[in-house]
Amino acid sequence: MKKLSAKLRASFSTRSWRAGAYSVFAAVLVIAMAVVANLAVEALPASVTQKDMTANKLYSITEGTQLALAGLDRDVDIYWLVQEDHDNVTIQQLLYKYAEYDHVNVTRVDPVRYPGFAAEYTDEEVADNSVVAVCGDKSLYIPYSDMWTYSDYEQYSYYLNYYGQEYLDVFTGEEQLTGAILYVTSDRQPTLYCLTGHGETGVSESVKNALALANIRTQELNLLTEEAVPADCDALALFGPVRDLTDREAELVDEYLAGGGQMLVTTAYAEEDTPNLDKLLEGFGLDLIGGYVMESDSRYYHYGYIDLVLPALGEHTITAPLLTGESYTVIMPDAQALADITSDETPGPAAVTALLTSSDGSYVKLDAEGQASYEQTDDDPVGPFLLGAASEREDTGARLVVFGSTRFMESEFSDMVSGANLDLFLNGASWLCRQEQSITIHPKTLTSEYLNFTDSAANGLKIALTVAVPALFLAAGIGIFVKRRRR
């Protein structure tokens, strides 16, 4: 027994045992260090561990959102409504970015396991990857379908007609989510009163929802039943009237604007004269020419449609977000022509800024309804024309924004230009409601960008990868082998 114990002790003192013990200790130490390192990295925010290498920063949030989230002084709960294994990676990564901020709490909720949860915030049928933003008693539901649109109308139509599928490659999730957070955390919500009784087009639910995301409430107003414009009116709106304001309505609107009020007007083709509306516009240095604007220059209209005008953007607070960074295009269907009647020689009481301008090759069909042809004739007024303008009276501080189209803000046309039309409209409404600080976050396109090679470059790359690189490694291996054999 003593011999066995001595032998065992002796075996622990051998060189091989010490080498083996050292190896085991080193392996355990490395494993422990790896575990600690993994736990430490996992605790780091996604902004540190994940780098967005996409050209359009698809998995990053803009500076505007960063400032908005950093400035929060109350908690916001974001509920991500999604079943297990139904995650949308783009939305998931976006929510991870928001969750890094102190006052933003992101919670995943399975709508199948908790079917009554979403009913507290919406009556709609909830699709996976929809989101709800909640702060106190205020909440806003963002359906998954509102976070996607398309960049190419022709491609979208092709897929829809031939495959029965929507080709959606533009992500608007950040715009929707940041807008929802600003809405639920805002104590004050400006009111946009929309005038009725003049055959107006009205505002669609999608536009109303977009205004709500911009923290602007809409309310209908019939001035024929009112003694004055309501005291809580932040701005009036007149969307596509085909009949004129009555004398009484015009008087009430004049009183409101004389007190420094604001007004948004979108025009529509009207067969009858509108002297009261014309007088209102003239007070802000603008004249409504009317008719339909056509483009003869193919660079300024949507392919195949000379009445879908692509105007140039002027410089103003309203258009600034569309002019910075990426260049955005606005499309104006059924556009009415406007003219700036102020000049340097005879300045009027208002300062007019062009927001949208047609080209020198544009012309107006004054009697466009029912015409068989929109081809230019000698009688047609020739451009350029204003298709959108902002004006501010120097004596009262009143503001007016006019767009020469009512349909331009609707999704049918706004989606054709990646939402730029709706952004422009919302910027105009925010400017009128004195919310210049409201941020505009533009959609991000998911379309892949390919690296193209010429045939010679491609052949050279093939040779390098299949012959030169393997030969280099083979030569290095042979050199190391020969060197070791000579020792």
**Does one domain contain both 157 and 202?**
no
**In terms of domains, do 136 and 75 share one?**
yes
Asked if residue 317 and residue 406 are part of one domain, the reply reads yes
Residue that terminates a domain, selected from 146, 163, 180: 163
Give me the sign of the Cα torsion angle 227, 228, 230, 235.
positive
- Domain for residue 213, yes or no? yes
- What is the SS3 string spanning 285-317? CEEEEECEEEECCHHHECCCCCCEECCEECCCC
- CA 385, CA 413: separation in Å to the nearest integer? 21
C-beta of residue 241 within 8 angstroms of C-beta of residue 198: yes
Within-domain flag for 58: no
The two three-digit tokens of residue 308, written as one number: 């879908």
Does residue 156 form part of some domain?
Answer: yes
Greater pLDDT, 152 or 352? 352
> What separation in angstroms does the CA of 325 have from each of 62, 83, 322, 443?
12, 37, 8, 13
Chain Cα centroid distance, residue 364 = 32
7-11, 201-205, 456-460, 478-482, range with the lowest pLDDT: 7-11
The domain spanning residue 103 has which CATH number?
3.40.30.10
The length of the chain, given as a count of residues = 487
d(CA 478, CA 99): 53
Do 281 and 375 sit in the same domain of this protein? yes
Q: Please, what is the end-to-end C-alpha distance for the chain in angstroms?
A: 47
Q: Do residues 331 and 387 both lie within one domain?
A: yes
Range of the domain at 121: 63-163
Where residue 215 falls (left for φ over 0; alpha for ψ -120 to 50; beta otherwise) is left
What is the CA angle 303-304-308, rounded to 5?
75
Q: State the DSSP code for 122.
A: -
8 Å CB contact between 444 and 57: yes
Residues 126 and 271 in one domain: no
CATH label of the domain that carries residue 240: 3.40.50
- Asked if 117 and 223 sit in the same domain, the reply is no
Range 342-346 average pLDDT: 66
* Weakest mean pLDDT among 34-43, 65-74, 100-109, 230-239: 34-43
> Are residues 112 and 214 located together in one domain of the fold?
no
Q: Residue 318 has what pLDDT?
A: 92
Residue 14: pLDDT above 70? no
Does residue 396 sit in the same domain as residue 258? yes
Return phi, psi of residue 190, to 5°.
-60, 155
Instruction: List, for residues 22-61, the tens digit of each pLDDT value.
Output: 677 777 777 878 777 777 666 665 555 555 555 556 667 7
Residue 13 lies inside a defined structural domain of this protein: no
Q: Tell whether the model's pLDDT for residue 303 goes beyond 50.
A: yes
Which pairing describes strands 399-403 and 444-445: parallel, antiparallel, or unpaired?
Answer: unpaired
- Position 56 in a domain: no
Residues 253 and 356 in one domain: yes
- Report residue 25 CA to chain centroid gap: 56
Pairing of strands 235-239, 286-290: unpaired
| Separation between Cα atoms, residue 447 and residue 426, nearest integer Å | 26
pLDDT over threshold 50, residue 452 = no
Cβ neighbors of 470 (< 8 A, separation 6 or more) are none
Q: Are residues 132 and 207 in the same domain?
A: no
What average pLDDT does this structure show over 333-351?
81
22: CB partners within 8 A, 6+ apart: none
**Selected residue with higher pLDDT from 132 and 17:** 132
Residue 424 lies inside a defined structural domain of this protein: yes
Q: What is the DSSP letter of 158?
A: H
pLDDT of residue 450: 43
- For the chain, state the CA radius of gyration: 32
336 plus 211 within the same structural domain: yes
Residue-wise pLDDT tens digits, 139-185: 989 998 888 776 666 666 766 677 776 666 678 888 889 888 888 88
Report whether 301 contacts 295 (CB < 8 A): yes
Q: What region, left, alpha or beta, does residue 372 occupy, with left being phi > 0 and alpha being psi -120 to 50 degrees?
A: alpha
**Maximum mean pLDDT: which of 11-20, 146-155, 233-242, 300-309:** 233-242
Residue 404 counted as domain residue: yes
How many domains does the chain divide into?
Answer: 2
Residue 14 lies in a domain: no
Q: What is the pLDDT of residues 246-274, one digit of tens each?
A: 999 999 999 999 999 999 999 988 888 89
In tens, the pLDDT along 398-416 reads 999 999 999 999 888 888 8
